Amino acid sequence: MSRASDRAYAGIRSMILSGELPAGSQLGEEALAERCGVSRTPVRDALRRLESELLVKRNEAQRSFVADWSLGDVADAFELRAMLEGHAARRAAERMDDAALQALRRCNQAILRAVQADPPDVGAFLEGNREFHAIILDTAQSRRLSAMLAALIEQPVIWRTAHHYGRDALRRSHGEHDELLAAFARRDGAWAEAVMAAHIRRAFHAYADAHQGLTAIDAARVS
């Protein structure tokens, strides 16, 4: 993959995840090429990659659009995440060393600072949360798990609704990370797996509550 294709992929992906390109938006190759500072060929490559990640969909006329995930789609993704990340947590606990444990603790301290900010720094929370889960997955040492989870974790709908989470929901996430750290410190795979699965399920319900609130707001704007 060329540098231009990588640049186009990173740029378009960032615009989707941030909501700059909202769900349902048509993705014109010429306009995207101009915004990313590349030709149309790298944009086509980038759109194919994003389609494989389920962030972009293509219609029968071969036009590309930002994928619109229904609540059912997201529920399915979270269910798969609970199973796969639970297994990753078990593997990570069994392979945990002091360096990885300290990295997780530093990461969760950064998450706590984001939660305690006034107002909460949701961007820093999301970045810290991404790093925390990435360290666990790296410690699990499974390329197959990494590949399977790649398409499930960073959905643009989650980034959009996360900015409407309350401080209590963010604080609960941090507390669940603390319990994972306790399981990792004891190298207890079964405990870590159970906590991670519950952590993902709770995150889905927090997402669903925020998503439904946003749906009501959007409907009110249309009417």
Domains of the chain as residue ranges with CATH: 3-66 (1.10.10.10), 71-222 (1.20.120.530)
| Rounded mean pLDDT, 61-85 | 88
**214: confidence class by pLDDT, cuts 50, 70, 90:** low
CA angle 134, 139, 142 (to 5 degrees): 90
CA–CA separation, 190 vs 91, rounded Å? 9
CA–CA separation, 54 vs 155, rounded Å? 9
Percent of the chain topping pLDDT 70: 88
CA angle 85, 56, 42 (to 5 degrees): 110
Q: pLDDT (tens digit, 9 = 90+) per residue, 15-60?
A: 887 778 888 899 999 999 999 999 999 999 999 999 887 789 999 8
